[in-house]
Amino acid sequence: MQIAFLVAPEGVEQVELTDPWQAVKDAGDTPVLVSTKPGEIQAFNHLDKADTFPVDRTVADTSAADFGGLVLPGGVANPDFLRMDDKAVAFVRDFFEAGKPVAAICHGPWTLVEADVVRGRTLTSWPSLRTDIRNAGGEWVDEQVKVCGARPSTLITSRKPDDLKAFCETFTAEFAKASG
């Protein structure tokens, strides 16, 4: 099964991309890097530039139908750029409309807020997103990982890099359930 990782051309928190990417590979699935522009994305270690990664597909050249699930890594700038791109927001919304599982960590839920898919859901994130999530109709909780199995898509969220182990174990198990 192919799993989409949606990231902006720059600003993704590297460990929030690489650890879940490896977890998808370890689960026997195929991670695919999707961005708003072709070429490479620039990852960051907090505010410092880190590695670059090749883009596999752009949001303009693919759709949710091509994937079994979606992962939204964080980083402060990454989801802020994504939520300003109509095609990226529509790509995220399409996963929910198709009933496919979505996982987001740290600041990743900002893109979910913009896609208007948190209403009636319970999720977690980096604490500074709490008000945005509540204003968008979601319930924010301070938990390491939160699974919200509400209609029709399962949403798995996590707070921060320290939660990555639990996040990766949880979302890969939920993605496997959804494909089975």
pTM attached to this predicted model: 0.97
SS (H, E, C) 130-175: HHHHHHCCCEECCCCEEEECCCCCCEEEECCHHHHHHHHHHHHHHH
Number of neighbouring beta carbons within 10 Å of residue 179: 13
Task: Tell me what pLDDT residue 150 has.
Answer: 65
168 is catalytic: no
Out of 6, 55, 106, 148, pick the active-site residue.
Answer: 106
Measured between alpha carbons, how far is 113 from 58 in angstroms, rounded to an integer?
21
What is the DSSP pairing of strand 2-6 with strand 30-35? parallel
Measured between alpha carbons, how far is 77 from 136 in angstroms, rounded to an integer?
20
Task: Tell me what pLDDT residue 180 has.
Answer: 73
Task: Tell me what pLDDT residue 70 has.
Answer: 98
Measured between alpha carbons, how far is 112 from 107 in angstroms, rounded to an integer?
10
Calculate the CA 68 to chain-centre distance.
13
21 DSSP 8-state letter = H
Q: What is the mean pLDDT of each run of 10 residues along the chain (180 residues)?
A: 98 98 98 98 96 98 97 96 98 96 98 97 97 98 93 92 98 92
